Amino acid sequence: MASEETPVPRDFIRDIIDEDLKTKRYDGRVHTRFPPEPNGYLHIGHAKSICLNFGIAEEYGGLCNLRFDDTNPTKESEDYVNSIIDSVRWLGFDWGDRLYFASDYFDRMFDWAVDLVRKGKAYVDDLTAEQIGEYRGTLTLPGRNSPFRDRSVEENLDLFERMRKGEFPDGSKTLRAKIDMAHPNMNMRDPVMYRILHTSHHRQGDRWCVYPMYDWAHGLEDSIEAITHSICTLEFENHRPLYDWFIDQLGIYHPQQIEFARLNLTYTVMSKRMLLELVKAGLVNGWDDPRLPTIAGMRRRGYSPASMRGFCKRIGVAKFNSTVSFDLLEHYVREDLNMTSPRLMAVFRPLKVVLENYPEGKTEEVEAVNNPEAPSAGTRKVPFSRVLYIEQDDFMESPPKKFFRLAPGREVRLRYAYLIKCTGVVRDGGGRIVELRCTYDPATRGGDAPDGRKVKATLHWVSAAHALEAEARMYDKLFTVENPMGEAGRDFREFLNPASLEVVAGCRTEPSAGRLGVMDRIQFERMGYFCVDRDSKLGRPVFNRTATLKDTWAKIQARDGADS
């Protein structure tokens, strides 16, 4: 795909790696990792991190591990582990035999914590979480030492061991690093390393009732795996001194933490906590709802891995936070689908058309181009007969000036077939038009008149007797505002778009749609890009609308004269 073939833009992370390679800092090794916590499904923000970490490993001939940071058993599960593995693989990345779990390092982490206690660098504290907060001070006020800070090494060793054995209830004690309660960086004010949680772990069962905190655990995980560049998002910049402190105190192998700006997208929310709320409250249909920014959702919506990788490459990495337009993502999706998806015809809101001069019982096949962008995709045969369906929107009885489609007395082209002319309408008892009477010109087969006369519109259509009934799920933006989190005092759920899903039942498609498989991507001419949903039944497909045909991003770019 064109956008994927564009050269990798230079950025500050690749500059750091180039420099490290020059100075032989890690003996010329490049080893990254993608470290998700299995507490939800991955979203497109994670895709940015995946593309960055695996992409760097590929570019430099290095390695990238997939590592689960499974240190908080209350929120994690094996289902999440499996969904994450699935998403990373689907995006097109491979971690070889390097699938790791932080929980497999719990023994080593515990031993290292004991080392710090022995060195007088960690202590058991009896303050509650609330009290720890009170003692911590503020950005302008120094904190105060805990009354338990000066326990002897022996007492700390004994208490820590008894914490591990399960002698104390949840929340009654913690292990804290002994750094500096007046440190200008709040993260350095004796951070908690372990808390007591009598909770089963999805991999470790009941082996543990003390669990390590992120800041303590993460650098150790990186060190154990001999990661060279530990890439994380910007909010961890203030945690880097702590990352370095733990590793330095232990005197173990020291990776380099590097922070970059997380991806934010307009018209959606990205945090797993909020996504979980939407899923749990049934405001969307599960984690892979095509309206969600989850990788599973975008996959089900019909986005291809290549378009998501192309998008991630295009947005690049930087040191400052910004929000990327959803239109840009859709632009990549469309660019990819335009090149790759076969065209079919489907009528979403059918209006019956009877060709009065076409023989009853006759069927012929017209030849249709599968993809004008890819001549090698060839052509197919589409059945044509006396009774057809066209789109209700494509007909107006009393058209305004700018309406060029079908109207009484007017001639239009049926794509790949004939010119037809409307001669009359049929109404039901309530006066509603339920059928059009038309004539076709047999001399215009293929769609062009031998006498060179022109028509102003080309319509898609299907033959009624041959059509397949289908359902189309028309997705739109999940929220009505660019930043659902941006309104002070308002809950993000207030901005859910009530029209984000419209189900159109009773669509009619040309018969070849019946040969599509689940997840096949197509374009219904004039209607948008669609893919086949897994809810499809034999002979009754369900289509998800992946994107409309209108490329808002390209239009903005053209207007602003900028390059895309």
Q: Which residues are catalytic?
A: 37, 262, 272
The nearer residue to ligand ATP, 49 or 304, going by C-beta atoms, is 49
The nearer residue to Mg ion, 4 or 37, going by C-beta atoms, is 37
- Half-sphere exposure for 17 (CA within 13 Å, toward CB): 24
The angle subtended at Cα 255 by Cα 252 and Cα 257, nearest 5°, is: 130
| The entry of Mg ion, ligand ATP, none that residue 343 binds, CB within 5 to 8 Å by partner kind | none
Strands (E), 71-158: 99-101, 122-125
Burial bucket for residue 281 (CB in 10 Å: 0-12, 13-18, 19+): exposed
Q: Are strands 63-68 and 99-101 parallel, antiparallel or unpaired?
A: parallel
Alpha-carbon gap, residue 431 to 445, rounded angstroms: 34
| The entry of ligand ATP, Mg ion, none that residue 344 binds, CB within 5 to 8 Å by partner kind | none
The interface region with ligand ATP, picked from 15-23, 45-53, 116-124, 308-316 by CB under 6 A, is 45-53
In the complex, the smallest distance separating the C-beta of residue 349 from ligand ATP, rounded to whole angstroms, is 39
- Give backbone dihedrals phi and psi of 114, rounded to 5 degrees, phi first: -60, -40
In the complex, the smallest distance separating the C-beta of residue 153 from ligand ATP, rounded to whole angstroms, is 34
Burial bucket for residue 435 (CB in 10 Å: 0-12, 13-18, 19+): middle
The helix/strand/coil state of 480 is: coil
Query: Cβ(522)–Cβ(343) under 8 Å?
Result: yes
| The entry of Mg ion, ligand ATP, none that residue 219 binds, CB within 5 to 8 Å by partner kind | none
The nearer residue to ligand ATP, 153 or 226, going by C-beta atoms, is 226
The interface region with ligand ATP, picked from 11-19, 42-50, 295-303, 511-519 by CB under 6 A, is 42-50
Out of 51, 122, 258, 270, point to the residue binding ligand ATP (CB under 6 A). 270
In the complex, the smallest distance separating the C-beta of residue 69 from Mg ion, rounded to whole angstroms, is 7
Taking CB positions, which residue lies at the least distance from Mg ion? 37
| The entry of ligand ATP, Mg ion, none that residue 62 binds, CB within 5 to 8 Å by partner kind | none
Burial bucket for residue 550 (CB in 10 Å: 0-12, 13-18, 19+): exposed
The nearer residue to ligand ATP, 114 or 485, going by C-beta atoms, is 485
In the complex, the smallest distance separating the C-beta of residue 335 from ligand ATP, rounded to whole angstroms, is 22
The interface region with ligand ATP, picked from 98-106, 178-186, 263-271, 428-436 by CB under 6 A, is 263-271
The angle subtended at Cα 220 by Cα 217 and Cα 224, nearest 5°, is: 140
Question: Counting contacts by CB under 6 A, is residue 46 touching ligand ATP?
Answer: yes
The nearer residue to ligand ATP, 46 or 466, going by C-beta atoms, is 46
Out of 98, 136, 254, 262, point to the residue binding ligand ATP (CB under 6 A). 262
In the complex, the smallest distance separating the C-beta of residue 223 from ligand ATP, rounded to whole angstroms, is 16
Alpha-carbon gap, residue 51 to 302, rounded angstroms: 19
Residues lying near Mg ion in the complex (CB under 5 A): 37
The owner of tokens 């004039």 is: 526
- To the nearest 10 degrees (0 to 180), the angle between helices 240-250 and 106-118 is 80
Between the CA of residue 100 and those of 96, 245, 254, what are the distances in Å?
11, 24, 19
In the complex, the smallest distance separating the C-beta of residue 257 from ligand ATP, rounded to whole angstroms, is 11
Q: Would you mind telling me the total number of residues written for the chain in this entry?
A: 564
Identify any residues that bridge with 459 across adjacent strands, giving them in sequence order. 414
In the complex, the smallest distance separating the C-beta of residue 205 from Mg ion, rounded to whole angstroms, is 23
In the complex, the smallest distance separating the C-beta of residue 312 from ligand ATP, rounded to whole angstroms, is 9
* Sign, Cα dihedral of 42, 47, 52, 53: positive
The nearer residue to ligand ATP, 39 or 285, going by C-beta atoms, is 39
Residues 6+ apart with CB under 8 A from 428: 434
The interface region with ligand ATP, picked from 34-42, 90-98, 413-421, 436-444 by CB under 6 A, is 34-42
Out of 35, 55, 62, 290, point to the residue binding ligand ATP (CB under 6 A). 35
Alpha-carbon gap, residue 447 to 231, rounded angstroms: 58
Alpha-carbon gap, residue 28 to 383, rounded angstroms: 63
Q: Are strands 542-547 and 468-475 parallel, antiparallel or unpaired?
A: parallel
The nearer residue to ligand ATP, 73 or 541, going by C-beta atoms, is 73
CB atoms within 10 A of CB 561: 6
Question: Counting contacts by CB under 6 A, is residue 312 touching ligand ATP?
Answer: no
Out of 36, 55, 293, 528, point to the residue binding ligand ATP (CB under 6 A). 36
The nearer residue to Mg ion, 75 or 144, going by C-beta atoms, is 75
In the complex, the smallest distance separating the C-beta of residue 289 from ligand ATP, rounded to whole angstroms, is 17
What is the H or E stretch that residue 161 is in? helix 153-165
Which of 380, 376, 346 shows the shortest CA–CA distance to 459?
A: 346
The interface region with ligand ATP, picked from 7-15, 33-41, 404-412, 441-449 by CB under 6 A, is 33-41
Q: Give the pair of three-digit tokens for residue 529.
A: 């890009």
Interacting positions 49-78 with ligand ATP (CB under 6 A): 49
In the complex, the smallest distance separating the C-beta of residue 37 from Mg ion, rounded to whole angstroms, is 5
Out of 63, 66, 232, 417, point to the residue binding ligand ATP (CB under 6 A). 232
Out of 63, 127, 263, 298, point to the residue binding ligand ATP (CB under 6 A). 263
The nearer residue to Mg ion, 272 or 460, going by C-beta atoms, is 272
Question: Counting contacts by CB under 6 A, is residue 277 touching ligand ATP?
Answer: no
The owner of tokens 């899923």 is: 279
CB atoms within 10 A of CB 247: 19
Instruction: Please give the size of the binding site for ligand ATP, defined by CB under 6 A.
Output: 14
The helix/strand/coil state of 26 is: coil
Out of 145, 187, 200, 233, point to the residue binding ligand ATP (CB under 6 A). 233
CB atoms within 10 A of CB 10: 10
| Contacting positions for ligand ATP (CB under 6 A) | 35-37, 45-46, 48-49, 232-233, 262-263, 270-272
